[in-house]
Amino acid sequence: MSAVDKIKNMVSGEKGAKVAQLDAVSQTVSKNDRLTTDFGVKEPTADEWLRVTSEDKTGPMLLEDNYARERIHRFDHERIPERVVHARGAGAFGNFRLFESAEDVTFAPVLTDTSRETPVFVRFSTVQGSRGSADTVRDVRGFAVKFYTQEGNWDIVGNNIPVFFIQDAIKFPDVVHAVKPEPHNEVPQAQSAHNNFWDFVYLHEEATHMYMWTMSDRAIPRSYRMMQGFGVNTFTLINKNGERHFVKFHFTPELGVHSFVWDEALKLAGQDPDFHRKDLWEAIENGAYPKWKFGIQTIPESKEHEFDFDILDATKLWPEELVPIRYIGELELNRNVDEYFTQTEQVAFCTAHMVPGIGQSDDPLLQGRSFSYFDTQLSRLGINWQELPINKPVCPVMNFNRDGQGRHTITKGTVNYWPNRFEARPPATQQEGAYRDPPFSVQGIKARTKSAKFREHYNQAQLFYNSLTPPEKSHVAAAFAFELDHCDDPVVYERMSQRLADIDLELAQTVAEMVGGTKPTKASRANHGKTAKNLSQTAIQPEKPTIASRRIAIIIADGFDKVTYDAITTTLKASSALPFTIAPRRSEIYPAGADKTPGNGVQPDHHLEGMRSTMFDAVFVPGGAQAVQTLMKSGRAIHWIREAFGHLKAIGASGEAVQLLKHAIALPEIQLSSDDKAIESYGVVTIGKISPDSLKGAVTIAKEGTGFVQKFWYQIAQHKNFDRELEGLNSQVAY
Ligand code: HDD
């Protein structure tokens, strides 16, 4: 039974029916099938075009071959236009559960009925690159959620960054043109590191807050499963008394927020461009279902103007000190797609898709978006895009919209208009659940302008930067230095270096020096020094440290210590981590003392050349004198350790392998164990003499753990050892 079938079997009753409905036209390929044409006739051949031929001569092909022609025609039209932004993505199915009703602010059953499970489809994406670009580039990540509610589809089309580059939808084509490859040579692909982007955002000051986020670690997430999702725009909620609240939507990952370091992300873009796609797929197949807490920040309509920023401005976030997040639900992804094209590629989101109880606000970015999404689906999918199985609501769709290219629904009856003499399909009343636009007064002068608060662009850019930890701040400086180094027009890097003095003088000076700009001598705007909680991603961590779903490379060679290898592998699996055995070759590797008869050894998952340390979260090397001797002589093995060290990953070694670490990371600051006491030093955990018993049993992951496993697991859970970076240790090791 496939994993998908298992999950389908797990879902029961109503929920199962809904999942089945989403799959309405799915087909399974079986060996009993026979190839047919699209019009259903069994094909005469899959291999040869009809031609004129004789025994010694292959003659011309005949255009009369309908079967061959149909294949080529179908193939020629396989591609649809890729999304103009967010072209590269990965999606999965799941459920949304509510654990607390928000009935005080909304009457939408999806946010009030705690007995419901709402099926969802989520698509994650990068923004800048084409469909075939790499996953790990520096970019915003899309986080689009389609809730198939019983009242119709509700889409939250969000990002992993809570603010946006522009305040008004009219600027969207400019920001996208500026960040996409330059028009003359279509370079660079999927990166903002070029003249046009930095030229635009310098001149377009409202982008300031957002590019501080994109230069931070948020833009290089370790996994789609380890990033936050934000609805970004301000929406409204309406309760049954007709009262309106402004609302921002939040998804906070159970696994915490984690990122790559830049060198790792850069290398992975070439070494494994599908890293994020595979990571999501693998986690779901392994039953490590990603989960996010769902939260709302709400502001009553009467308090709209009580803030020093405009709450309808998408370049501003609502600091949690001022508007706490109320967590009321949970999103879980638990089923991979069956087919990428019909599901992940054809899914189409739209910010105008809202259910009764949830509404728009006058956020000037949101209103323009709601036009744009429907519009873009017309060129991507055609007017009947909402009939495609992945986009179809699970509740009935009954209206008099008709025809158009690719129409599937066959509607019986003689009328296609309202009102009609049969009184068929009248609009619902509010009691019957009709969408409600609550009446509220609108006053003003018709003009192309926004409220005065929209003109302030630096307070929150400073707030974000001030809230980062020292390593995070140094990553921001390094990111600017990288990006502006790729700008060869002095106007661009010079001006941007000066602009950073509007945010933080030290940052501006560091970057100017690195990129060859003039070092500013004084801040062009005083830094207010304020901070806010949960802007540093280091604050968004799991309640209990976990290593679940982390990929751990265990490096072995002939003569390795099998007892330790077995114990560590088993204990990692018991902690829901994913151990991978890596060795100089993929054919069997024999442990110390074993005779080299096939079956006596271990079959590695990969060899050292086939994978790179970048693809794993931590590395462990068990002892074994002969194995360690072999690894010591392997430049690739040494590089694995050095690279993992440079990328701030947890590294563990036991027995003779401690010597390998000494050789690879020859730094006096790193303390290594030579006896049976486990030592942790800058995220490197070693034990000289190991008793296999000390490796067994359930592991509680806590900072104060004393045994080897406890210490190593805690370091893996931390994801990165930033002390290495603070002390400059990683830069002393070539990686
Ligand atoms: Fe957008 C796609 C998120 C502003 C126009 N956007 C798209 C996707 C995400 C976002 C996640 C991918 C959806 C998918 O997976 O299919 N967009 C945002 C956020 C924004 C934002 C969080 C700011 C708050 N977008 C925005 C504006 C416009 C658009 C201002 C136009 C005026 N976005 C589009 C689009 C796309 C899109 C061109 C491309 C493909 C699609 O819609 O379906 O219409």
Q: Are strands 244-253 and 291-300 parallel, antiparallel or unpaired?
A: antiparallel
619 forms beta bridges with 553, 651
pLDDT at 100: 98
Residue in the block written with tokens 């003039």? 518
Residue in the block written with tokens 């600091």? 319
Is 341 part of any domain? yes
Q: Which residues contact 273 (CB under 8 A, 6 or more apart)?
A: 133, 134, 135, 136
Whether the model pTM is above 0.85 = yes
- Using the 8-state DSSP alphabet, how is residue 343 labeled? I
Which of 95, 153, 159, 730 is an active site residue? 159
Distance CA 612, CA 641 (A): 10
In sequence order, which ranges of 610-671 are alpha helices (DSSP H)? 625-632, 635-646, 657-664
pLDDT at 23: 53
The distance from CA 451 to its chain's CA centroid, rounded to whole angstroms, is 34
Does 172 sit in the ligand 1 pocket, CB within 6 Å? yes
154 forms beta bridges with 147
In sequence order, which ranges of 134-246 are alpha helices (DSSP H)? 172-179, 195-203, 208-214
Nearest CA to ligand 1 atom 30: 169
- List pLDDT tens digits, range 517-568: 999 999 999 999 999 999 999 999 999 999 999 999 999 999 999 999 999 9
Q: Would you say 146 and 349 are in contact if contact means Cβ atoms under 8 Å apart?
A: yes
Are residues 241 and 118 located together in one domain of the fold?
Answer: yes
Residue 205 C-alpha to ligand 1 middle, in angstroms? 21
Residue from 139, 349, 379 to probe ligand 1 pocket by mutation (most atoms less than 8 Å from CB): 349
378 forms beta bridges with none
Are residues 321 and 344 located together in one domain of the fold?
Answer: yes
Q: Tell me the one-letter amino acid at 284.
A: I
pLDDT at 7: 34
Is 130 part of any domain? yes
Are residues 524 and 630 located together in one domain of the fold?
Answer: no
Are residues 317 and 247 located together in one domain of the fold?
Answer: yes
Q: Which residues contact 422 (CB under 8 A, 6 or more apart)?
A: 413, 415
All residue ranges of the chain with pLDDT < 70 are: 1-26, 696-698
Beta strand extents in 477-587 (DSSP E only): 551-555, 578-583
The distance from CA 684 to its chain's CA centroid, rounded to whole angstroms, is 29
Q: Tell me the one-letter amino acid at 503.
A: I
**DSSP, residue by residue, 378-430:** HHHT-TTGGGSTTT--SS---------TT------SS--SSS-TT--SPPPPT
Are residues 523 and 569 located together in one domain of the fold?
Answer: no
330, 357, 387: which is the final residue of a domain? 387
Q: Would you say 250 and 123 are in contact if contact means Cβ atoms under 8 Å apart?
A: no
Residue from 80, 83, 141 to probe ligand 1 pocket by mutation (most atoms less than 8 Å from CB): 83
Residue 372 C-alpha to ligand 1 middle, in angstroms? 8
Does 109 sit in the ligand 1 pocket, CB within 6 Å? no
Are residues 591 and 634 located together in one domain of the fold?
Answer: yes
Sign of CA dihedral 325, 329, 335, 339: negative
H/E run at residue 485:
helix 470-485
Does 372 sit in the ligand 1 pocket, CB within 6 Å? yes
pLDDT at 10: 35
Is 212 part of any domain? no
In whole numbers, what is the pLDDT of the chain averaged over residues? 94
Are residues 525 and 569 located together in one domain of the fold?
Answer: no
The 3-state DSSP class for residue 128 equals coil
| Spatial CA neighbour of 163 closest among 480, 461, 470 | 461
Is 39 part of any domain? no
In sequence order, which ranges of 272-313 are alpha helices (DSSP H)? 275-285
Q: Would you say 122 and 333 are in contact if contact means Cβ atoms under 8 Å apart?
A: yes
The 3-state DSSP class for residue 496 equals helix
Q: Would you say 90 and 344 are in contact if contact means Cβ atoms under 8 Å apart?
A: yes
Are residues 563 and 500 located together in one domain of the fold?
Answer: no
Is 68 part of any domain? no
| Spatial CA neighbour of 125 closest among 90, 164, 163, 160 | 90
Does 221 sit in the ligand 1 pocket, CB within 6 Å? no
Is 429 part of any domain? no
Q: How many domains does the chain have?
A: 3
Does 277 sit in the ligand 1 pocket, CB within 6 Å? no
Distance CA 114, CA 99 (A): 6
pLDDT at 696: 66
Distance CA 666, CA 654 (A): 17
In angstroms, the first-to-last Cα distance of the chain is 44
Residue from 164, 345, 366, 372 to probe ligand 1 pocket by mutation (most atoms less than 8 Å from CB): 372
Q: Would you say 648 and 725 are in contact if contact means Cβ atoms under 8 Å apart?
A: yes
Q: How many CA atoms does the CB half-sphere of 377 hold within 13 Å? A: 20
Q: Which atom of ligand 1 is nearest to the CA of 85?
A: 39
Residue 139 C-alpha to ligand 1 middle, in angstroms? 14
Task: For residue 169, give both structure tokens.
Answer: 């939808």
Domain extent, residue 302, equals 89-165+222-387
Known catalytic residue: 86?
A: yes
In sequence order, which ranges of 258-348 are alpha helices (DSSP H)? 262-271, 275-285
CATH number at residue 487: 1.20.1370.20
Does 160 sit in the ligand 1 pocket, CB within 6 Å? no
Are residues 524 and 560 located together in one domain of the fold?
Answer: no
Are residues 150 and 280 located together in one domain of the fold?
Answer: yes
The 3-state DSSP class for residue 146 equals strand
Is 217 part of any domain? no
Distance CA 8, CA 22 (A): 12
Residue 220 C-alpha to ligand 1 middle, in angstroms? 19
Nearest CA to ligand 1 atom 19: 158
Known catalytic residue: 159?
A: yes
| Spatial CA neighbour of 280 closest among 135, 170, 153, 407 | 135
CATH number at residue 348: 2.40.180.10
Q: Which residues contact 534 (CB under 8 A, 6 or more apart)?
A: 320, 540
Are residues 252 and 344 located together in one domain of the fold?
Answer: yes
Distance CA 438, CA 434 (A): 12
Residue 106 C-alpha to ligand 1 middle, in angstroms? 26
Is 601 part of any domain? yes
Distance CA 360, CA 349 (A): 15
539, 561, 595: which is the final residue of a domain? 539
387, 407, 425: which is the final residue of a domain? 387
Residue 336 C-alpha to ligand 1 middle, in angstroms? 23
Are residues 151 and 108 located together in one domain of the fold?
Answer: yes
